Structure 1
Amino acid sequence: MQNLTIIGNLGDDAKQVDLKDWKPFLAFSVACTRKNKAGESLTQWYNCRTSNLALLEHLTKGKKLHISGRPDFSTFTDKDGEAKVSVNISVDRIDLI
């Protein structure tokens, strides 16, 4: 089993998603920023989802989080026609920092 752990900031408030034939869940994006050897900031975005609906009021834009969960990867084409990889996390644990 794979597990991915990240520390980052919420890019926007979490949203509750209600889909037919699915249990409701929260969806949110987390940004992790680091500096490369040249001192430039590089940001990686992670799309996250959790079934813990009680966290909705706490998952607000800018909050720092420690997250761990199961990763899954998908590809998409951005607005410029470039192929990109999306990193999605089914969250098992969230800690507010």
Structure 2
Amino acid sequence: NTFSSTRVAQTDYGLEHLAYRLNRVSAQVARKAADDVTAQTGIRRYVAGAMGPTNRTLSVSPSVERPDYRNITFDELVEAYTEQAKGLLDGGVDILLVETIFDR
């Protein structure tokens, strides 16, 4: 499950440098499982790469005292989601599943 595997979300755990790899390897594991089932059944199986929200937000300030404050920039989010999508696609997913992301 790659739901929270962006560089942004992994920073809290000191694992931001592994974000691309987490996504690529997770996708490879899922791809192998799907291909194994396809080989056994003859019915094609697809792999979706899950892309969920980060623990930072552009749409709501994390500070009640500073409603104008944001703890991440748009460009940082674009970079994080691009890296995640690249890892998932390089790992062999068929589709990107964007879920429960409230910043647009």
User: Which TM-score band applies after superposition, normalised by the shorter structure?
Assistant: under 0.3
| Higher relative contact order, structure no. (Cα contacts within 8 Å, ≥ 6 residues apart) | 2
Indicate the structure with greater helix content: 2
TM-score, scaled to structure 2: 0.23
* TM-score with structure 1 setting the length: 0.24
- Larger strand proportion, structure 1 or 2? 1
State the structure with more CA Rg.
2
